[in-house]
Chains A and B, each alone.
Chain A
Amino acid sequence: MESGVVAEIKVHSQHNCYRLSPEQMTAIQDNGVSVNLQPGTNRIKLLEGDTPYVTGIGDQAEPWVLLWIYGGKVINKQTDTEVVATWASLNGYTDELILEVLEPATLCALLFDTSTGNHGGELTLSVTAI
């Protein structure tokens, strides 16, 4: 273990994989906001709008979004690996994903959530070819 590292945990692709039911997968793709991605390089980020991103009771909410990218070959520049499906998150307005789209793919933006309360906000996700 490197100096300063307090722990290293292994995350196994099967043993630590949550099995999504087909219904859940369908829900992800249906409930998420889908954007067709054409070949090229895209910058994907959250835009800070004029309207504060708030919870249902008006508290400031954490601006984040989960991205499920599938259906065609893409390369997340952070991993620099060609894959046909991947997940990424954008946390905050400065975070961005640079995605090279090799084949037409679909970007599905959604959130995971754990409670039915405090839902009132809306985020603007931009996808720009660069």
Chain B
Amino acid sequence: MSLIKFATTCLIAATVSQAVGESFSRQAQAQAFGEVPESFPIPGSLPDGTTLRVDGSTSMRLTNEELEGRFEQQYPNVDVELDASRTDEAFEALINGDIDVLSSGRPLTQEERNQGVVEVPLEQREKLAIIVGPENPFEGDLTFEQFAQIFRGDITNWSALGGPDLPIRFVDRPDYSDTRRALSTYTVFEGKPFETGATAAPIDDDETETVINALGEDGIGYSVVSQVLERDDVRIIPMHKTLPDDPRYPYSQYRAFVYKADADPATLAFLGFATSNPGEEVIGAAVDGDTAVADSDTAAADDGTAVATDPEAATADAAGTDAATGTDSAAAPIDTPPTAAPSDADVVAAAGAEAAGRGGFPWWILPLFAIPVLGGLLWWLLKKGGGAAAPAAGAGAATAGVAGAAAAGAAAVGAAGALDKSRLVLTPRDGQNAYAYWEVPQEKLAAVKREGGKDLTLRVYDVTGRPKQGPLPAPVGEYPCIEEHPDLHIPIQADDRSYCAELGYLSADKKWLPIVKSDPVRVPMQLGVDGAAPKGPNLGAMGAGAALAGAAALGAAKLGGKDKAANEAATKTDLELISGHPGELLLASPNGKRLHAQWDIPSESLAAARRQGGETMVAKLYDVTDYQPGADLPEPAAQVECSDQDVDAEFALPAADRNYMAAVGYQTAEGRWLPLAQSEPLQVAQSGIPGAAILGGAVAGVAGAAAMGNKNDQPSGEDVSVPSSSIKLSSQSSQKAYAVWDVPEAAKTAVKAEGGQTYQLRIHDVTDVDINQQSPKSTLTYDLAEADCDRTVPLPNGDSDYLAEVGYQAPGGDWLMLARSNVIKPLQTPDVSTSDETKDGDTGVSATDMAAVGAAMAGGLALSQTDKDQGQTVKVHSRKNALMFDAHQLHHIEHTVASTHYLSPGLYSLKIKDGVFNYDGDDSHPGEPFVILWIHGGTVINPQTGIPVSTTWTTLNGYDDSLTLTVREPATLCAFFVDTYPDDNTGEVTLAITKHEEK
């Protein structure tokens, strides 16, 4: 079937639409994490006689053995001495210089970290298995609660679990066991001391072999799963009808390698293997015996020394490694879905669907399995350029485990593709403070520094009343930044204004070299306390984008109704903060799929918590949707074990249209919960709505105190008008106008109470129309974010009269207008400057506004509605409306399909000299002279666009059409056609390429 025929079959479904399809490769993004170097050098050889000593948790035994095998294969002259004693003792040995690498099954304590060590966590946790002996007659499964009751000795007989009348022996590991400690962090053990009961049968060491030997027919114990898989002397008990190869299986354990900051090359090489996929280690040159001790803080490759994969990109690999390769017992997947790198959401969804058939699974535990352990990793907000998919992929790759190479490959590709993924998020915290967070690849920072950048600086601009991406005014604040700390708390000068931030470098001569700019955000009006806002906006009825993203900023805002009740309850049940120096915790759902908690805990609070026994920092997520004031907090919907250095955590969003709250604190060895901070409730609206991924500018409105008072005064139906709202429309050129409005939150609240749902700007063509009596000739409609206060709009016709309205559209289509502007005519002159500020109520019409201009055709936005006799405009998004060609396809086009020509630097013109192309030689059409051109490989400039690019596309249509091209760097021209069925095409065109003399 030819393209024409195929297209015809599709025509029936074609409408004026903006269907979009996100079809992007999911990416991982490498991030700096604490002091972990970005890479570890793996020299080609190590000096003879080198010995590497590794000791630590018994739970890391198989991981270490697998690494030892790989390491000694590369360095047969090096002796690796493995031991598996216990983490605390091995740590002392590390500090004393008795060993080189500590393999830990728990996060280091802050005290330990302060002793000059570097902790390299493995992103993949190891699952824990609940085990019995093969002769044990119990064949059922356990719930979390039942296991906790067994642990504590509350259940003493297998008959209580549906098994035979047989006493239970709980085979327990010693207190120092990292595996035991990992169990203690789970919520099911909260509230009571983490202690066994009368059924306990403790063993003397932390060896799984000892546990297995002690099981007998009545014992039950636990182990890291890799040490009990595929054995006939032990059996794993299902938990909630899942086994450890199921991502929903509950328990898992932290793992890390630790080394001293003055580590030698052999140690760093070992870490290089640990953070590389088997067979993918990048081996460099030899290190002779005189090689100086490497500085672990600068462990990147020296000359002649290659580096291993970025550890964060590769930790998933490493995790997959120890689970999937090497020893027999590690050959089975641990928590790996069958396909590589699904998103967390996918995992959860799939797991949910699957479990629906099995029943009984507590969904709150699900996010545990999909959360990367590297606390500094922020996957959220990659929405720009593949956005939401990218963070999901990052986490997905992390969960891929055995998918190994595929997942690792995705991560690596993602990391490489993330070089240009800079972003800066500015989030208001209240009326006086904001929080800026950025992600800028090191390569980008380095590039700007090479341009002269000296001091990394954050600038803050007051952009109230300014076009969203127009030129920035003078900054209102300038704050020095530290590259290693990609965030900053900044004061805000005035509330109820819009701000944006820009990160950049100042050069030595104070020249500003910008890197990335945030979206503008509205800092809400700071309201009074104690019910100044008795009824907040119905977040659920807001634009979803605002609700999802803006709620982060509104965490401290006043939430009405149910939300407020939850807030109060949360506060009431909030645990006493440890030291009287409460921390802050901000919960946000930047992309509608994940929840991101970020905290700032005073160091004295952390220290106080640790003094009181705090052992493990845990971030918890609570679903507080149905929370009643005065009630205890519900069971966490999810929890993440953190390291003391972490300042954030991510949770998969359990469900939309729910209210969530987060808390961070310490868990003691006895199971006590020492809270450090908790967030305000966050309402997460229905996900998947456009705009949900946009954080900036999506600050949800805060209900004004006057809202209730005004509510009953508002007329319903059309032409709802709040006197204090105003809008001004001014012409900027023959094609553009600038609308700026001022709508108090009280007005918004009132109109929404009347059913207003979608905040909109409408531009009406009112030529020869009495707008009070007649319908406009045409209307352009723009959906707005709650925080929007201005927009530049195209004017479809230079001869027409226009006015603007701002208001809300009700679900039934009714237009609830808040304000209407003056009438303008488009200017004939080119662009005029835009006023920065607009006074309330200033809706006067300037003389220039009224100037008549010549006809011009322009358009609107999104689903712009225009006069059918005039025209229409649509938005074409560079990502959403793009067809992606992958590397294979591009290679195929260049080397197999296209007619190509090498273009050396110079000025060219290209034209079709003769010939035609015909899609279907059997029909009567004569064919058309056209061709598609793809120019790539070097910088070129098409003067029609004037933008230097390394890839460009164009077509030539007809013999008079020509492409002028400035080729700055050698490039390749590919000329070709596309069709679904080329076999019946006929014709050939001749493309003439002329190189002109440079003037």
On A, residues with C-beta under 8 Å from B are: 2, 4-14, 16-22, 24-36, 38, 42-43, 45, 47-58, 60-66, 68, 70-71, 76, 78-89, 91-92, 94-95, 97, 106, 108-129
4 closest A-B pairs by CB: A50-B792, A119-B879, A128-B871, A92-B944
CB pair B885–A112 under 8 Å, yes or no, is: yes
B961 at the interface (CB under 8 A from A): yes
CA distance A4 to B19 in the complex (A): 46
Supplied contacts A8-B991, A62-B945, 4 more A-B pairs, CB within 8 Å = A11-B988, A91-B942, A116-B27, A127-B874
- Contact check, A127 vs B872: say whether CB atoms are below 8 A apart: yes
Q: A56 contacts B7, CB within 8 Å?
A: no
Decide: A117 and B881 in contact? CB cutoff 8 A. Answer: no
Q: Tell me the chain B residues, 936-981 only, with Cβ under 8 Å from chain A.
A: 936, 942, 944-947, 949, 951-955, 957-958, 960-961, 975-981
Contact A61-B10, Cβ < 8 Å, known A31-B19, A112-B953, A124-B794: no
Give which listed residue, A27, A86, A108, A117, contacts B928 with CB less than 8 A.
A86
Q: Once the chains bind, are A57 and B422 in contact (CB under 8 Å)?
A: yes
Question: How distant is A97 from chain B, measured CB to nearest CB, in Å?
Answer: 8
Q: A50-B470, A71-B11 are in contact. Are A20 and B994 (CB under 8 A)?
A: no
Q: Is B858 an interface residue (CB 8 A)?
A: yes
A58 near B516 with CB under 8 A, answer: yes
Picked from B792, B881, B953, the residue with its CB within 8 Å of the CB of A109 is B881
- Are B421 and A56 closer than 8 Å at their CB atoms? yes
Pick 9 A–B contacts, CB within 8 A, sort by A: A9-B900, A66-B955, A86-B957, A111-B876, A113-B884, A119-B386, A119-B877, A119-B882, A123-B875
Contact B16–A35 (Cβ < 8 Å)? yes
Q: Is the CB of B898 within 8 A of A113?
A: no
Q: Which residue of B lies closest to A42 (CB)?
A: B871
Which residues on the B side are within 8 Å of A56 (C-beta)? 384-385, 420-421, 879
Contacts of A120 in B (CB 8 A): 384-385, 878-879
Verify B993–A7 contact, CB threshold 8 A.
Answer: yes
Cβ contacts under 8 Å, A52 to chain B: 469
Report whether A62 and B949 are in contact in the complex, using a CB–CB cutoff of 8 Å: yes
Q: Does B640 contact A (CB under 8 A)?
A: no
Which of B21, B735, B919, B945 contacts A47 (CB under 8 A)?
B735
* Complex: chain B residue closest to A81, CB-CB: B928
Cross-chain contact B467 with A51 (CB below 8 angstroms) = yes
A43 to B858, CA, bound (A): 11
Does B581 reach chain A (CB closer than 8 Å)?
no
B161 within 8 Å of A (CB atoms): no
- Least Cβ–Cβ distance between A20 and chain B, in angstroms: 5
CB contact list, B876-910 vs A, under 8 A: 876-885, 890, 892-893, 897-901
B983 within 8 Å of A (CB atoms):
yes
Which of B10, B27, B990, B991: most chain A Cβ within 10 A? B10
A5 B993 Cβ-Cβ under 8 A: yes
Inter-chain contact B958/A114, CB cutoff 8 Å: no
- Given A95-B944, A124-B873; A13-B977 close (CB under 8 Å): yes
**Are A17 and B417 touching (Cβ within 8 A)?**
no
List A contacts of B714 (CB < 8 A). none
How far is it, in angstroms, between the C-alpha of A4 and the C-alpha of B910 when the chains are bound?
12
Q: Residues of B with Cβ closer than 8 Å to A?
A: 3-4, 6-8, 10-11, 14-21, 23-25, 27, 384-386, 417-422, 444, 467-470, 514, 516-517, 732, 735-736, 738, 792, 794, 796, 857-861, 868-885, 890, 892-893, 897-901, 913, 915-919, 925-932, 934, 936, 942, 944-947, 949, 951-955, 957-958, 960-961, 975-983, 985-996
Q: Is B890 a contact partner of A114 (Cβ separation < 8 A)?
A: yes
Q: With A10-B899, A92-B946, A123-B876 as given contacts, are A87 and B978 in contact (CB-CB < 8 Å)?
A: yes
Q: Which of A13, A30, A83, A110 contacts B982 (CB 8 A)?
A: A13
The CA of A45 and the CA of B792, in the complex, are separated in Å by: 19
How far is the CB of A15 from the nearest CB of chain B, in Å? 8
B23 touching A14, Cβ below 8 Å? no
Nearest-neighbour CB distance to chain B for A45, whole angstroms, equals 8
Bound Cα distance from A73 to B12, whole angstroms: 16
Q: Is the beta-carbon distance between A51 and B469 smaller than 8 angstroms? A: yes
A8 touches B979 (CB 8 A): no
On whether the beta carbons of B883 and A64 are closer than 8 Å, the reply is no
Residues in B whose Cβ lies below 8 Å from that of A29: 7, 10, 14
Picked from B15, B930, B947, the residue with its CB within 8 Å of the CB of A61 is B947
The answer to whether B958 touches A79, judged by C-beta atoms less than 8 angstroms apart, is: yes
Considering the chains assembled together, what is the distance between the CA atoms of A65 and B873 in angstroms?
Answer: 14
Interface of A is mostly: strand
Cα–Cα distance between A16 and B931 once the two chains are bound (Å): 10
Contact: A16 with B977, CB < 8 Å? yes
Nearest Cβ on chain A to B826's Cβ, whole angstroms? 13
Partner of B952, one of A62, A122, A126: A62
Expressed in whole angstroms, the minimum distance between the Cβ of A10 and any Cβ of chain B is: 6
- Closest residue of chain A to B983 (Cβ to Cβ) is A14
CB contact between A118 and one of B18, B385, B881, B982 (< 8 Å): that residue: B385
A111 touching B883, Cβ below 8 Å: yes
For A68, list chain B residues within 8 Å (CB): 7
CB-CB under 8 A from B988, the residues of chain A are 10-13
Pair A86/B23 contact, Cβ less than 8 Å: no
Given known pairs A27-B883, A113-B882, the reply for A122 and B989 (CB within 8 Å) is: no
Chain B residue numbers with a CB within 8 Å of A122 are: 875-878
Contact present for A92 and B928 (CB under 8 Å): no
Taking CB as reference atom, which chain B residue is nearest A84?
B4
A24-B883 in contact (CB<8A)? yes
A121 to B989 alpha-carbon distance, docked (Å)? 34
Indicate which residue in B14, B928, B953 contacts A64 across the interface (CB closer than 8 Å).
Answer: B953
Query: Are A17 and B982 interface neighbours, CB within 8 A?
Result: yes
Q: Cβ of B418: which chain A residues have Cβ within 8 Å of it? A: 117
Inter-chain contacts of B993 with A (CB < 8 A): 5-9
Within the complex, what minimum Cβ distance (angstroms) separates B848 from chain A? 17
| A34 to B18 alpha-carbon distance, docked (Å) | 7
Q: Is A11 a contact partner of B989 (Cβ separation < 8 A)?
A: yes
| A5 adjacent to B992 (CB under 8 Å) | yes
Residues of chain B within 8 A of A97, CB atoms compared: 957
By a CB distance below 8 angstroms, the chain A residues around B4 are 70, 84-85
CB nearest neighbor in B for A67? B955
Set of chain A residues within 8 Å of B975, measured between Cβ atoms: 9, 11, 16
A34 touches B979 (CB 8 A): no
Instruction: Tell which of A8, A25, A36 touches B7, judged by Cβ atoms closer than 8 Å.
Output: A25
A95 to B957, CA, bound (A): 12
A34 → B minimal CB distance (Å): 5
**Is A51 in contact with B878, judged by CB distance below 8 angstroms?**
no
- For the complex, what is the distance from the CA of A127 to the CA of B517, rounded to whole Å? 33
**B943 — nearest CB in chain A belongs to which residue?**
A92
Q: Which residue of the partner chain, among A34, A45, A58, A81, contacts B929 with CB atoms under 8 Å?
A: A81
> Hey, which chain A residues are within 8 Å of B982, CB to CB?
13-14, 17, 19
Q: Tell me if B16 and A36 are in contact (CB < 8 A).
A: yes
Given contacts A116-B417, A126-B859, contact A12 B10 (CB under 8 A): no
Identify which of B869, B880, B917 gathers the most chain A CB atoms within 10 Å of its CB: B917
Q: Separation in Å of the A98 CB from the closest CB of chain B?
A: 11
For B469, list chain A residues within 8 Å (CB). 50-52, 54
- Compute how far the CA of A115 lies from the CA of B889 in the bound complex, rounded to whole angstroms: 12
B6:A129 contact, CB within 8 angstroms = no
Residue of A nearest to B947 (CB): A62
CB distance from B68 to the nearest CB of A (A): 38
Contact A16 B979 (CB under 8 A): no
B420 touches A31 (CB 8 A): no
B878 to chain A: which residues have CB within 8 Å? 53, 55, 61, 111, 113, 119-123
Q: Is the CB of A31 within 8 A of B932?
A: no
User: In the complex, what distance in Å separates the CA atom of A115 from the CA atom of B385?
Assistant: 10
Residue of B735, B884, B915, B981 with most chain A CB atoms under a 10 A cut-off: B884
The complex places the Cα of A89 from the Cα of B876 at a distance, in Å, of 13
Cα-based distance from A85 to B919 in the complex (angstroms): 8
Contact A81 B954 (CB under 8 A): no
- List the B side residues contacting A113 at CB < 8 Å: 878-879, 882-885
